[in-house]
Amino acid sequence: MIVRRTGMRHSVAALVLVAVAGSSYAGDDWSLTLGAKVWNNKWTSWDYYQPFSVPAIVDVPGASENFTSGNQSTLLPSVTLRYQDFLLTGSVFSNQEYSFDGSTGTQFKANREETDVHVGYYVLPTLALTLGHKSIKQEFTGGKVFNYSGPIFGFVGSAPLTQNYSLYGNFGYGSMTAEFPTGLTDNSGQSKKDADYYLSEIGVAYSFNPSSIISSAKAMTATLGYRSQTLATQGFAVGTDANHPALSRSTELRDNTEGLVLGLSVSF
């Protein structure tokens, strides 16, 4: 999220789950899985400007605009501990800098990082339900920091295709709180808003025997998929008339990141 005239900066929340074929855990009470994904993504964020007027010429209402970054490759490391049908997993979105081109040709930059921790339970051998917490910090040019955080509910599953290949999917939904920087509010004077979070990732997984590479490993899985995460800030009041500051309209501001993701996980 970028606010061109107020120097706004934003923090999004997000969810990372690692999909590993159910056979990786067969017959074991405990397992430890180390994973990493490289996400080649584009980030679309938003900019907001307040209404203004040119006397006797024109009145321009406030509005939001979207800006999309260039491609960036972001590392998503993770660790998952499983005991029988229970799991505990954590991951991070490594600190990444993005560049945006504003409507006037001015370039904006933003650094972004995310963390999350989840617990889960396998209701089926290849389907787990998860519940956790996600937080994201984003810092835009000008030193404005937005923080989004809240609980996330999701599930991760897989379905076999052939002996070594399977389809996998990760999905999540979160109800979060958005905290704006000190001194920054919407047109109604509010510095906190509710935000909905959505995650989807679907792709193909290939599992193979890693003994020739790592003798102590039980399984190794490579994945290739498409990942999308969206943060929708709700009820943001946008001013509609510079001559009547109290007038506004409520809008949803969407922040989206998506692209191909390549992953590798090793189970011990």
Convert 246-258 into a string of H (helix), E (strand) and C (coil).
CCEEEEEEEEEEE
Q: Note the pTM of the prediction, 2 decimals.
A: 0.84
The 10s digit of each residue's pLDDT in 166-214 is 999 999 999 999 998 877 788 899 999 999 999 999 999 999 988 888 8
Terminal CA-CA length for the chain = 40
Rounded to whole angstroms, how far apart are CA atoms 174 and 70? 27
5-9, 67-71, 152-156, 217-221, range with the lowest pLDDT: 5-9
- Identify the residue whose tokens are 């709180």: 177
Distances (CA, A) of 265 to 31, 59, 81, 224: 12, 56, 13, 12
Q: Report the relative pairing of strands 30-49 and 63-68 from DSSP bridges.
A: antiparallel
Residue 15 has pLDDT above 90, yes or no: no
Rounded to whole angstroms, how far apart are CA atoms 130 and 13? 16
Cβ atoms of 113 and 136 closer than 8 Å: yes
Q: What fold does the segment set 22-267 form as a domain? A: Lipocalin (2.40.128)
Q: Give 149's strand partners.
A: 135, 177
Burial category of 71 from C-beta neighbours within 10 Å (exposed 0-12, middle 13-18, buried 19 and up)? exposed
Rounded to whole angstroms, how far apart are CA atoms 228 and 41? 9
- Using a pLDDT cut of 90, give the percent of the chain over it: 61
Rounded average pLDDT over 102-107: 72
Rounded to whole angstroms, how far apart are CA atoms 93 and 96? 8
Residue 142 has pLDDT above 50, yes or no: yes
The 10s digit of each residue's pLDDT in 112-126 is 999 999 999 999 999
Residues in Cβ contact with 60 at an 8 Å cutoff, skipping those fewer than 6 apart: 51, 52, 53, 54, 242
* Side-chain-facing half-sphere of 192: CA atoms under 13 Å: 3
Query: CB atoms < 10 A from the CB of 216, how many?
Result: 8
How confident is the model at residue 8, as a pLDDT?
32
The 10s digit of each residue's pLDDT in 22-37 is 333 345 699 999 999 9
The 10s digit of each residue's pLDDT in 61-87 is 776 788 899 999 999 999 999 999 999
Cβ atoms of 150 and 49 closer than 8 Å: no
